[in-house]
Amino acid sequence: MFAPVPGDRPNDVDWLRFRLMGLSNPAYFGMFARRRMALYGDTQDDFAAVKVKNSEHGSSNPNARYAKVFTVDDVNASPVVADPLRLLEICSTSDGGAALVVSSLDFARKKGIKDPVKIAGISTVSPTYPNAIIDMPYFASDSWYSVAIGTIPSRIR
């Protein structure tokens, strides 16, 4: 059987989805885009607006991978990859990395950092696994809400 990467990875939702349903990411997300259209009345132009917004932000960022600004018409004229998703709406393959150095305030000051950043809080959320079929219209909102509501002072809730 063809698989994106060889080997068994039962904890990897992408691998599970491909293995169980034979769906690549574009096909899977295309189905969920159709479902979102049926549930909420989203249109192709609504999806295209996301690419338009992102391209506008990228055009003003000198470090952006892509600087070209696209219009809704540009997006809607691009080839269909997995109905209703079009080529300009699909994420390009990108490998990268990021790092954050965390230290004590004393250590940072000893290294010449006059006003070190203080971390007030941190949270990581994801949908509940190992459900291989995620209800994308509600993707991760179930977990972030319960975390976020606990961090908001009661006087402003």
Query: Of residues 101 and 84, which shows the higher confidence score?
Result: 84
Q: Match 């965390």 to its residue by tokens.
A: 102
pLDDT, tens only, 103-125: 999 999 999 999 988 888 877 76
Residue 13 has pLDDT above 70, yes or no: yes
**Burial (Cβ within 10 Å: 0-12, 13-18, ≥19) of residue 127:** middle
Average pLDDT, rounded, for the chain: 80
Half-sphere exposure of 9 (CA within 13 A, CB side): 12
What's the one-letter identity of residue 47? F
Q: What is the pLDDT of residue 62?
A: 92
Q: What is the pLDDT of residue 1?
A: 43
Of the ranges 38-47, 90-99, 119-128, 133-142, which one carries the lowest mean pLDDT score? Answer: 133-142
Mean pLDDT across 22-38 = 88
Query: Of residues 124 and 61, which shows the higher confidence score?
Result: 61
Q: What is the pLDDT of residue 118?
A: 87
Q: What is the pLDDT of residue 130?
A: 54
Residue 156 has pLDDT above 60, yes or no: no
